[in-house]
């Protein structure tokens, strides 16, 4: 509809971009500002997650959470995304979040942001921690030195946020860029050359574009590739002459000058905290232990054991048992009151209203049996997600990346590969996407191929089922599943790095370790709920449809030439179809058609493994001992075959959605099929060796053809691990990586 002349102008949307180093509390600030008014998407042309939300109380204000970066050097995907957004989209105001306790390091990025000539506000975060250290950040000194407003805040405790929002909106509406005279002044010879280049470029950030020309970046000249190439040619001699005069590259000279200016300003702005009143740095003391060369890995193993032991064997198991026995089992006994569970309650009601037997079977055995079998494990998942979020919130997860970088580098991987691994413990899809932050194409491709070896949230019900039904809740089953995934990644790294497509030195890994702090309860609960709700939604869609299809194919068949509902599932269509391929899994110890069906449906969604077993083993009809389908399931497995079943389903090709993510990241059908084939073959080989050697060791089977195949496979694995690379690595880290790694 056309707007009438007298109608008021529609309000213009103001965009606030949050920029800052990693671990400065930027995400906490974003969550505080937007609350639940946020959504997740992908940056244009890349499958890296971004967060965008509406500012609370301001429906016309959008908040963008940019990736955490250390500079605008555009040498990593995070830096490229941030630079492209800031120079291309040009938000109305940039809120630069800095850590008040690490001003010197953080102000380096601040100085680079000033060159963009965008309206900017500096939010000095963690001001409560600064005060606890007996120090004070003088916002007026920072504002004078930077030429833009400065607000002291504590995102964790919600302090100063109202003032920050007010100042940011005022700055955005005024459209006032920081005072040009407050930026770092480089040596006169560099400034003269910059001034000459600035006259040749166009756009609102001419100084920034000129600096990129001097640094020989493709984003120079405001992203105009043709102009950038022409300027590089025109000023090539002048740049070479100036670098010879300085005895260093222009990029390095400007980096050092920025750090010098940041250090001087930080010393003027930060006062107190020296002498006798200086507090003990507990973060450094803790790091002396948890990152110790000899203690780091054992401590990491102990922490992971404690997490999975709590989530699967103790607290999570107690809540899950209560849920399964009550909601999806016999119900509860409350004094003299008997409260029936959902299957009995709904089944009795359907029978009372004379619903057809086939429809009763569909609802009770199919829908409740399949979906209920999976939803019963949600409490365990919520406990696991909460514990992992707490570890991330307190700062330990950043240490794990540092610890594993030291270990991974020996196997040809970078510590950056741990970040996708960590994300994959929640869901493999964002874990695969997170591999885009790895600079090396070879490392990135290998991480995409192996990161789904980690047990995601959808695999947790499989782990809990095996641990409870077969191993009587043994403490070691859940942690072993986690370390099985880590081991698979390490072994794959050793093998693949010795082949031509994956050779090369591991990417340098530079990160800042945040100080330890108590995790924020609201943030932990938010992460727990978001991940659990995502799982529940999948249970209500994919698993529901799969359960209905499984029930129909297993409950109907052709008996004596007639299509009818069968009493014995062995007569159903599904038994016939699965029986034709069950022989493939017989050497792994689970050749029954029920296990075959569960494994195959797991390719659609890993949650389907337990959902399918719930339908086939009659979850909705509790057994006499109250164990639901657990006792029926356990009767078809030995301890060795059950662990083999677990290993195969943990390591084989991921769900269809994750396979789609792999295809997007690889951007090549052949590489995608190679990844799927490698994962499946690796899982088959591991499961084969586990079952054959385990059965032989426990006396459950004698030496046979399967044992010979397992021995041959083990010999091949040892050969691939110890053999020399097909050719030595031909290139080391890139020059800009080396400069970045050496920068203080």
pLDDT in tens, 418-457: 777 877 887 787 778 777 767 677 778 888 898 999 988 8
Check residues 235 and 13 and name the one with the higher pLDDT.
13
pLDDT at position 64 is 92
pLDDT in tens, 543-586: 777 777 877 777 787 777 777 777 777 777 888 888 888 889 99
Given a cut of 80, is residue 710 above it in pLDDT?
Answer: yes
Copy the structure tokens of residue 626.
């109250």
Average pLDDT over the chain reads 79
pLDDT at position 472 is 84
SS3 39: strand
pLDDT at position 573 is 80
Lowest-confidence segment of 312-316, 511-515, 532-536, 670-674 by average pLDDT: 511-515
pLDDT at position 740 is 38
pLDDT in tens, 475-526: 899 899 989 998 998 898 888 888 877 776 555 565 666 777 788 788 788 8
Given a cut of 50, is residue 45 above it in pLDDT?
Answer: no
pLDDT in tens, 253-302: 888 888 888 888 988 998 875 533 344 467 778 888 888 878 888 998 89
Output the DSSP codes for 282-320: HHHHHHHHHT-TTTHHHHHHHHHHHHHIIIIISHHHHHH
Q: How far apart are CA 133 and CA 343, in angstroms?
A: 58
Copy the structure tokens of residue 89.
């989209």
Check residues 716 and 156 and name the one with the higher pLDDT.
716
Residue 435's contacts (CB-CB under 8 Å, 6 or more residues apart) are 417, 420, 444, 447, 448, 451, 665
Given a cut of 70, is residue 155 above it in pLDDT?
Answer: yes
Q: How far apart are CA 228 and CA 217, in angstroms?
A: 9
Copy the structure tokens of residue 109.
């990025």
Confidence of residue 729 (pLDDT cuts 50, 70, 90): very low
Distance of CA 238 to the CA centre of its chain: 45
Cβ burial of 225 (10 Å; 0-12, 13-18, 19+) is exposed
pLDDT at position 736 is 37
Given a cut of 80, is residue 377 above it in pLDDT?
Answer: no
Among candidates 417, 393, 419, 415, which has minimal Cα distance to 404? 415
pLDDT in tens, 74-93: 666 777 788 888 888 889 99
Given a cut of 80, is residue 165 above it in pLDDT?
Answer: yes
| Residue % of the chain over a pLDDT of 90 | 17
Given a cut of 70, is residue 251 above it in pLDDT?
Answer: yes
Domains and CATH numbers, the chain: 14-182 (3.40.50.300), 296-369+372-502 (no CATH)
Q: How far apart are CA 452 and CA 676, in angstroms?
A: 11
| pTM exceeds 0.85 | no
pLDDT at position 739 is 32
């Amino acid at each position: 509809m056309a707007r009438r002349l007298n109608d008021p102008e529609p309000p213009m949307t103001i965009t606030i971009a949050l920029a800052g180093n990693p671990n400065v509390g930027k995400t906490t600030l974003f969550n505080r500002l937007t609350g639940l008014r946020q959504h997740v998407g992908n940056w244009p042309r890349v499958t890296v997650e971004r967060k965008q939300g509406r500012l609370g109380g301001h429906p016309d204000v959008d908040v963008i959470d940019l990736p955490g970066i250390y500079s605008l050097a555009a040498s990593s995907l995070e830096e490229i995304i941030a630079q492209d957004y800031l120079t291309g989209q040009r938000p109305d105001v940039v809120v630069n979040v800095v850590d008040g306790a690490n001003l010197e390091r953080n102000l380096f990025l601040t100085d680079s942001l000033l060159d963009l000539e965008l309206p900017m506000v500096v939010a000095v975060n963690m001001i409560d921690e600064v005060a606890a250290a007996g120090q004070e950040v003088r916002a007026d000194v920072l504002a004078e030195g930077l030429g833009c407003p400065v607000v002291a805040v504590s995102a964790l405790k919600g302090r100063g946020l109202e003032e920050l929002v007010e100042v940011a909106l005022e700055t955005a509406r005024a459209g006032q860029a920081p005072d040009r005279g407050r930026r770092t002044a480089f040596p006169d010879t560099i400034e003269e050359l910059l001034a000459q280049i600035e006259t040749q470029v166009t756009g609102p950030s001419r100084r920034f574009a000129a600096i990129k020309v001097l640094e020989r970046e493709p984003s120079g000249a405001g992203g105009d590739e043709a102009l950038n190439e022409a300027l590089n040619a025109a000023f090539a001699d002048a740049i070479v002459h100036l670098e010879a005069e300085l005895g260093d590259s222009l990029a390095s000279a400007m980096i050092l000058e920025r750090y010098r200016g940041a250090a001087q300003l930080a010393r003027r702005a930060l006062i107190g905290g020296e002498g006798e009143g200086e507090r003990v740095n507990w973060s450094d003391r803790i790091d002396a232990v948890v990152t110790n060369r000899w203690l780091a890995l054992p401590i990491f193993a102990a922490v992971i054991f404690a997490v999975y032991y709590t989530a699967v064997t103790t607290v999570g198991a107690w809540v899950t048992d209560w849920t399964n026995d009550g909601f999806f089992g016999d119900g509860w006994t409350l004094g003299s009151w008997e409260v029936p569970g959902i299957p009995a309650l709904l089944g009795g009601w359907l029978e009372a209203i004379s619903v057809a037997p086939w429809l009763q079977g569909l609802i009770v055995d199919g829908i409740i049996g399949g979906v209920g079998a999976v939803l019963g494990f949600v409490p365990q998942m919520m406990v696991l997600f909460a514990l992992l979020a707490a570890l991330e919130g307190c700062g330990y997860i950043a240490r794990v990346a540092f610890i594993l970088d030291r270990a991974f580098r020996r196997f040809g991987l970078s510590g950056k590969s741990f970040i996708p691994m960590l994300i994959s413990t929640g869901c493999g899809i964002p874990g695969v996407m997170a591999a885009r932050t790895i600079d090396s194409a070879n490392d990135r491709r290998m991480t995409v191929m192996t990161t789904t070896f980690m047990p995601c949230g959808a695999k947790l019900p499989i782990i809990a089922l095996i641990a409870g039904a077969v191993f009587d809740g043994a403490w070691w089953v859940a942690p072993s599943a986690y370390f099985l995934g880590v081991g698979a990644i390490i072994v794959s790294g050793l093998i693949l790095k010795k082949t031509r497509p994956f050779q090369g030195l591991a990417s340098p890994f530079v990160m800042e370790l945040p100080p330890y702090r108590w995790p924020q309860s609201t943030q932990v609960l938010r992460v727990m709920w978001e991940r659990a709700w995502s799982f529940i939604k999948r249970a209500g869609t994919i698993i529901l449809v799969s359960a209905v299809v499984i029930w129909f194919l297993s409950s109907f068949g052709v008996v004596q030439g007639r299509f009818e509902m069968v009493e014995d599932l062995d007569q159903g269509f599904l038994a016939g179809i699965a029986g034709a391929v069950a022989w493939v899994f017989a050497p792994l110890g689970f050749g029954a058609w029920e296990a075959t069906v569960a494994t195959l449906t797991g390719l659609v969604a890993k949650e389907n493994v337990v959902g399918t077993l719930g339908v086939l083993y009659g979850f909705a009809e509790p057994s006499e001992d109250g164990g639901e389908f657990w006792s029926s399931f356990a009767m078809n497995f030995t301890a060795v075959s059950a662990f083999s079943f677990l290993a195969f389903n943990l390591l084989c090709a991921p769900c269809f959605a994750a396979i789609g993510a792999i295809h997007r990241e690889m951007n090549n059908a052949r590489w995608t099929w190679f990844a799927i084939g490698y994962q499946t073959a690796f899982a088959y080989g591991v499961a084969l060796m586990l079952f054959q050697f385990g059965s032989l060791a426990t006396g459950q089977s004698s030496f046979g053809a399967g044992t010979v195949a397992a021995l041959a496979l083990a010999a091949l694995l040892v050969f691939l691990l110890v053999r020399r690379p097909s050719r030595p690595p031909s290139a080391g880290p890139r020059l800009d990586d080396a400069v970045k790694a050496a920068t203080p």
